[in-house]
Chains A and B, each alone.
Chain A
């Protein structure tokens, strides 16, 4: 067994930055301009109407204090550099080379309102990356406007709406068919676009049956939206028949490639018959995913649907790159401008660094790594694989259940996740809603992690299983080695107890003080 890390996070019990410092504290003191400078440029450089009347409310601290404070904050996180086998998120290292490329002035200092003639370099990258995604999917046109996977799913719903409206059939094509195990953004975005959601449950094979799909689709179906493999890690081998059944009733077919890692370079959405697909650049393509953004859902479709794409579309004409806004059938915009361009550049850098063969190999490694994990996790008492009757190998991730251990010890998947952080391991991913497996968790090793890292992760899981039996209360009260113990989730349901900004927090605190004063 790997030696488990003796980890203890730093705990800096210091106030938030807005409460630090003293009047007059400054990062830097700048000298007043010399008289000849003032004379030359004038004193009122800022037009009176634009100059602020009050002082900005900023902490008055030195540069050194600011550096120290943020160093301390970073020490209280796991830093996104630990072993994080966070399933469905396809955690990858975000190369510093790609990061530096986006800091170059050719990208960092341009603005989408510039004339396209002055943006040829960045437009060329977007156009070339469109080409790379075309070759991975068989689609005819990609856009990068969507700010994430769910936004790209919404793009599909909008494109489908525009497509049926253009045919005068939106009144008839009112339904979107999906699987219970498709990512929840599919039903959610279809509903947001006004479609009725028709769900299919998983049957014995671990995916919805083809029969159920055939019963669900009809002349009312506007589109189907599907992941494959889904989060159980099971690839639906009948996917071609699915697309065929949907096409027979005239429905559009959307392939949500959220779980692309295990099949990248191995299949083409177009060859399977799909009309459109979506890639998450912040997952599969090595761009950072930060805390919920900035992200990019790259949406691609066939020429038949391209007329309905949100604008602008980057096109090449006569050796020049253009932003095509003149698309009268366009569904409109799902977001401003062209998307999170630095993320596109990073994804482009990843794809160029990997190459076609590297992408294929990465996919192989991610599936092998997951099957290695499956084997070892299966040897730990208290864990159960979802759909145990399914014999086929799982793809790049597997949905597991902590149900047997929870029944035996009372330690559930949320408790377990909290305890993992005590070993300096990022808590595991549980499951999207709805939970159809008891006490779920979903590891995904991907191609990044070494065997040593994967073994460490599994050994921590085995260790916590032992702890759940020997000292369940200790596990349930975890984390113990982190700067902050358990967060009371209830607070998030009461807006009076949280704030997103200092100003909102002050306002809410003043409100509750006033309420106390009155009481």
Chain B
């Protein structure tokens, strides 16, 4: 397992000074002008120090200077520094650093959603991604809960791999910051990445079968597919959980986008809000959704194509939500969040909702608005 490390030295600058993010050089300059202090390097060092304590001498590939090597000085790690195109202070640095890590199996980054997106865009094929949380925006499912937790997870990957589970498809999401500063939180789903998870909540296999969560999801999806009513438009939200319903019908979902199914056939792929509205017409609508990992978002994170008008048409009763019990148990809070952009609708959706967790199994989850 070859580990690469890249630090976005300006990640998180915007947060403490009210900028809601740090994307782009102008924002960085403004943040510094407002007195922001960079913390990502120190946080990366905390994570790597935990790794060095637990597994001294671990080999780490990194980029020069503030992009990595500076933060590893003096730690008991075997560091290989790969030259890149030089530090420009922009996202290009991250991308070039990752491009120099083509032989790595796992790329660890210190940053936020913007950095995650930059790293994921250049990630070597089959490599995994792990975030040391440093950003202002962290809606992606690739972050450890703290720098120490990230370091512990790395140590486990090297020294105790049976304590590590892998999420094959954690969400990589990012927000358009200018829109956010204008008061709208509209993160988009940019892709999925393989991400390590601490196995602390899952029994390490010392006898007894492991639960096959994929089979649970397929069971739930199959039940939804069998219960579909003729003439109803089923909007299939992004992500693998919602997509499992399309797969149960023998269809191939657009995992990063929204599809629609009526009478067992795909009637829209990667649809926009207007497409869905037109397809819905005056007929009945139901919306199939997953839940974002760790964060627990149901609506408003990566699925803005599903617009308030459509949600209102379906109503809370018309939401079909799929998530496995392990995913629900790993949520930071026992809540599902909605942020549709329409505060009245958000309030209407609050209450309790049944999540389908397997064949003949449901979990009653509280829906809340932030």
User: Interface of A with B (CB < 8 Å)?
Assistant: 180, 187, 191, 195-204, 209, 211-212, 215-216, 403, 406-410, 412, 414, 430, 433-439, 472, 476, 487, 489-490, 492-493
- Take A433-B203, A435-B201 as given contacts and tell me if A410 and B152 are in contact as well, using a CB distance cutoff of 8 Å: yes
- Take A211-B352, A212-B352, A410-B156 as given contacts and tell me if A201 and B363 are in contact as well, using a CB distance cutoff of 8 Å: yes
A215 touches B203 (CB 8 A): no
Q: Per a CB cutoff under 8 Å, which of B50, B328, B352 touches A216?
A: B352
Q: Flag whether B174 is at the interface (Cβ < 8 A).
A: no
- Take A199-B363, A199-B364, A433-B203 as given contacts and tell me if A215 and B148 are in contact as well, using a CB distance cutoff of 8 Å: no
Q: Flag whether B202 is at the interface (Cβ < 8 A).
A: yes
Provide the residues of chain A in CB contact with B160, threshold 8 Å. 410, 412, 476
Q: Which of B289-343 contact A (CB under 8 A)?
A: 325-326, 328-329, 334
Closest beta carbon of chain A to B221's beta carbon, Å: 16
25 pairs of residues in contact across A and B, judged by CB atoms under 8 Å: A180-B329, A191-B360, A191-B361, A195-B360, A196-B361, A196-B362, A199-B363, A200-B363, A201-B363, A203-B334, A211-B366, A215-B364, A410-B155, A410-B156, A410-B159, A434-B326, A434-B329, A435-B201, A435-B202, A436-B329, A438-B201, A439-B200, A472-B54, A489-B206, A493-B205
- Take A180-B363, A198-B364, A492-B208 as given contacts and tell me if A434 and B352 are in contact as well, using a CB distance cutoff of 8 Å: no
Among B156, B200, B365, B366, max chain A CB count under 10 A is at: B200
Closest beta carbon of chain B to A161's beta carbon, Å: 15
- Take A215-B352, A216-B364 as given contacts and tell me if A409 and B54 are in contact as well, using a CB distance cutoff of 8 Å: yes
Give the docked Cα–Cα distance between A216 and B351 (Å): 11
Give the docked Cα–Cα distance between A487 and B326 (Å): 26
Q: Which of B353-370 contact A (CB under 8 A)?
A: 354, 357, 360-366
Give the docked Cα–Cα distance between A11 and B118 (Å): 58
- Take A216-B364, A412-B163, A433-B211 as given contacts and tell me if A489 and B352 are in contact as well, using a CB distance cutoff of 8 Å: no
B360 touches A199 (CB 8 A): no
Provide the residues of chain A in CB contact with B326, threshold 8 Å. 434
B334 touches A202 (CB 8 A): yes
Q: Which of B195-250 contact A (CB under 8 A)?
A: 198, 200-209, 211
Provide the residues of chain A in CB contact with B79, threshold 8 Å. none
- Take A215-B351, A410-B156 as given contacts and tell me if A201 and B201 are in contact as well, using a CB distance cutoff of 8 Å: no
Given contacts A191-B360, A407-B198, 15 further A-B contacts (CB under 8 A): A180-B325, A180-B329, A196-B362, A199-B364, A200-B363, A211-B352, A212-B352, A403-B200, A408-B152, A412-B160, A412-B204, A434-B325, A476-B160, A489-B205, A489-B207
Interface of A is mostly: mixed
Provide the residues of chain A in CB contact with B204, threshold 8 Å. 412, 414
Provide the residues of chain B in CB contact with A409, threshold 8 Å. 54
Give the docked Cα–Cα distance between A406 and B152 (Å): 8
Closest beta carbon of chain A to B148's beta carbon, Å: 6
User: Interface of B with A (CB < 8 Å)?
Assistant: 50, 54, 148-149, 152, 155-156, 159-160, 163, 198, 200-209, 211, 325-326, 328-329, 334, 351-352, 354, 357, 360-366
Closest beta carbon of chain B to A253's beta carbon, Å: 17
- Take A403-B200, A410-B155, A492-B208 as given contacts and tell me if A199 and B325 are in contact as well, using a CB distance cutoff of 8 Å: yes
Provide the residues of chain B in CB contact with A434, threshold 8 Å. 201, 211, 325-326, 329
Interface of B is mostly: mixed
Give the docked Cα–Cα distance between A47 and B325 (Å): 60
B200 touches A212 (CB 8 A): no
A199 touches B351 (CB 8 A): no
Closest beta carbon of chain B to A71's beta carbon, Å: 27
The 9 closest A-B pairs by CB, nearest first: A438-B200, A215-B352, A489-B206, A407-B152, A489-B207, A216-B364, A492-B207, A201-B334, A199-B363
B208 touches A201 (CB 8 A): no
Closest beta carbon of chain A to B289's beta carbon, Å: 18
- Take A203-B334, A410-B156, A492-B208 as given contacts and tell me if A430 and B360 are in contact as well, using a CB distance cutoff of 8 Å: no
Give the docked Cα–Cα distance between A202 and B163 (Å): 25
- Take A209-B366, A215-B352, A493-B209 as given contacts and tell me if A435 and B361 are in contact as well, using a CB distance cutoff of 8 Å: no
Q: Per a CB cutoff under 8 Å, which of B200, B325, B351, B354 touches A198?
A: B354
Provide the residues of chain A in CB contact with B149, threshold 8 Å. 407
Give the docked Cα–Cα distance between A492 and B206 (Å): 8
B152 touches A197 (CB 8 A): no
Provide the residues of chain A in CB contact with B352, threshold 8 Å. 211-212, 215-216
Please name the residue on chain B nearest to A433 by beta carbon.
B203
Please name the residue on chain A nearest to B200 by beta carbon.
A438
Closest beta carbon of chain B to A435's beta carbon, Å: 5
Closest beta carbon of chain B to A488's beta carbon, Å: 9
